[in-house]
Amino acid sequence: MKKRVLCVALAAILLLAIPSIAAADSSGVCFTAVGDRLLDLSSMPSFVGGAAYLPSRVFSSFGVYYNYFDSDATALLYNGSKQIFFGLNDGSCYDSEGTTYQASAVLRNGQVYVPAAWVCQYFGLSYSYISGSGNGDIVRIKNGSEVLTDSKFIDAATSLMKMYYTEYYGMIDPATPSPSPSLPSENDDNHHSSVHIFLTFIGMPDSKLLDELDRFAYQASFFVTAQEAEENADTLRRIYGSGHNIGIFCESSVQDCEKAAVAIYNACQTLPTMLSSDTALATQCIEYGKENALAYFSPTISAPSDTAGISAISARLEEAAGYLSICVEISSTTSKMLPSLFYYLSSNSFNVLPLRETYL
């Protein structure tokens, strides 16, 4: 089917226009909010020609999920009824029927950003730009379930905006104009951007863990058993739709690997490409992986289910170099320390990358 071009009226373009970055308050900072929740500055908008663009994963809070296809540099946003594709190489935008639209995405600092107002209109959400008075502006995405009006929301969010600003810039007074971000020097002890971290997990995550990954814009890999995959189809769809990887974890027998692959496919319409296991089954699983086009994953740093703090992980990362992986076994204990781990990785400038089978 030939693509049908969808003409956009000038009036619609004007309706989607938003204040330019020059309209920001004296702090020079703009936050993102979803409903009645303020996100930290790792999810701040990027401005293109005066229009606000948001990290693609921000919309997962409203059931609009994200995936990225390396082969043709295409980003996908979708929910249960709609899909929209953004071609990063040619600036194209089209839906599953081949209809093209006058919209485009951009790649900034390794993240795909999409036009906030346009995406909201397409998926039936609403959008507002809230001008602040010294603590930052807010780009707010809503679906009608929010309680606070824009004016009451920015008042309620003031103290949290100050805290997030301090965490992000290391400054005390957010009313002070922020300096232009710059890379730390080679002598900066907290500079680890040359260290590439793959975040991986064993077990099925809860919504809080997935929310935290969204908040830090981290892509991770989850290795799940056949039983977990069969019992948690909705969670698998959110994992996959948010851009994370799903692999198989073998804990008893290689025969379970096929059951896990089928369950993952039934939930997400995608086949796993990676496999991990208990140490006792490593040899069998490596052979199984070779026979079934599955890359076997063995982590550099492991955090078992009783890991309560990040010190054992952070101590190994201080002198780390190159590429390494952190694998956390999900439990009630490890879940409590994960926000601290993510903040440690972010504040120390580690480069967190999605794990690919080609890295194994």
pTM of the model: 0.53
Q: What is the mean pLDDT of the chain?
A: 83
Q: Quote the pLDDT of residue 287.
A: 94
Written as one string, the DSSP assignment of 202-255 is ES---HHHHHHHHHHT---EEEE-HHHHHH-HHHHHHHHHTT-EEEEEESS-TH
pLDDT in tens, 323-345: 899 999 999 999 989 988 998 88
- Mean pLDDT across 104-110: 82
pLDDT category at 206 given cuts 50, 70, 90 is very high
Hunting for tokens 């029927």 — which residue is that? 97
305 neighbors 333 (Cβ within 8 angstroms):
yes
pLDDT in tens, 155-178: 888 888 888 877 766 543 444 443
Lowest mean pLDDT among 5-19, 94-108, 302-316: 5-19
Q: Quote the pLDDT of residue 111.
A: 83
Q: Quote the pLDDT of residue 236.
A: 92
Lowest mean pLDDT among 86-90, 132-136, 232-236: 132-136
pLDDT category at 227 given cuts 50, 70, 90 is very high
pLDDT category at 188 given cuts 50, 70, 90 is very low
Q: Quote the pLDDT of residue 172.
A: 39
Answer whether residue 19 shows pLDDT above 50.
no
- Mean pLDDT across 22-45: 79
Answer whether residue 76 shows pLDDT above 60.
yes
Say what percent of the chain tops pLDDT 70: 83
What is the side-by-side order of every strand in the sheet holding 74-78?
65-69, 74-78, 83-87, 93-95
- Domains of the chain, first to last: 10-169 (3.30.457.10), 196-359 (3.20.20.370)
Question: For residue 271, which phi and psi values (nearest 5 degrees)?
Answer: -95, 140
Q: Quote the pLDDT of residue 176.
A: 41
The continuous run of DSSP H or E covering 257 comes out as: helix 255-268
pLDDT category at 247 given cuts 50, 70, 90 is very high
Q: Quote the pLDDT of residue 13.
A: 37
Answer whether residue 259 shows pLDDT above 90.
yes
